[in-house]
Amino acid sequence: MTTTTTPDTLDRLKAAFSAALELPADADHAALAYRETPTWDSVAHMQLVVAIENAFDVMLETEDVLALSSFTESMVILRKHGVLV
């Protein structure tokens, strides 16, 4: 598990969101929110969970999956798992 911020931590998180939600290159990640982002539906949500878990070698708990409601919240969840974003 990662315990310190690396130069690419934020980029890896953005890449996970971009891949799972099929975002354009110029997407405003800070504005991403579940059900407010057109491509972020329930299927994409589970793809996002897998992308985050793979990118950071963490296992999100059920409460994390349910709480994952925005890009900002994903950073809070990762911090809980020792990943500083």
User: For the chain, which residues make up each domain, given as ranges?
Assistant: 9-80
pLDDT digits (tens, 9 = 90+) for 17-71: 999 999 998 999 999 999 899 999 999 999 999 999 999 999 999 999 999 999 9
pLDDT of 7 reads 64
User: What's residue 6's pLDDT?
Assistant: 62
Residue-level pLDDT at 84: 77
pTM, 2 dp: 0.88
CA distances from 10 to 5, 7, 42, 62 (A): 9, 7, 24, 23
How many whole angstroms separate alpha carbon 19 and alpha carbon 66?
20
Task: Classify domain 9-80 at the CATH topology level.
Answer: 1.10.1200
Whole-angstrom distance, CA of residue 6 vs CA of residue 9: 5
